[in-house]
Amino acid sequence: MQTLHFHHVGIPVQEKIAGMSYNKELKLYATGYFENPYGIEWMYFDRDNPLPDIIKSMPHVAYRVDDLHEAIKGKNIILAPESPEDGVTVAFILDEMNLIELLQFDRPESEIWPHPNKFNI
């Protein structure tokens, strides 16, 4: 069993929130989880966003893992591993009623997404 390290909470919303940043490639607006000290991310998805509906409508908790492929073995995979940014791979699983995002970083996260305000556990 792998150790899960809390990373952030993602909460979909139905309207844009002031201060959200837009990611054209991912087709979503978000307040970055690293823009506040508690790892909370608010997300608004474009209508043509290709992610599964459950990701666009249900809050999730994200954890950093050392081996993503091992962590999702035997799990109900909602989104197969993909890389939204060089050096990080993510996947979503559904564990009973819980939507979980798992992230694997291949180099320090601070090099990929600098975030001096993020709460570090």
Q: Which residue spans within the chain are E strands per DSSP? A: 5-12, 21-23, 28-31, 40-45, 60-64, 76-85, 88-95, 98-105
Residue 19 lies in a domain: yes
Number of folded domains that form the chain: 1
* 65-118 confidence digits (pLDDT tens): 999 999 999 999 999 999 988 899 999 999 999 999 999 999 888 787 776 665
For residue 36, give the CATH number of its domain.
3.10.180.10
What confidence tens digit (pLDDT) does each residue in 33-53 have? Answer: 767 778 899 999 999 999 999
Domain assignment of residue 24, yes or no: yes
Pick from 8, 94, 112, 4: nearest CA to 53: 94
- Answer whether residue 102 is part of any domain: yes
Domain residue limits at 57 = 5-112
Does residue 119 belong to any structural domain of this protein?
no
pLDDT at 24 exceeding the cut of 80: yes
120 in any annotated domain? no
The answer as to whether 118 is a domain residue is no
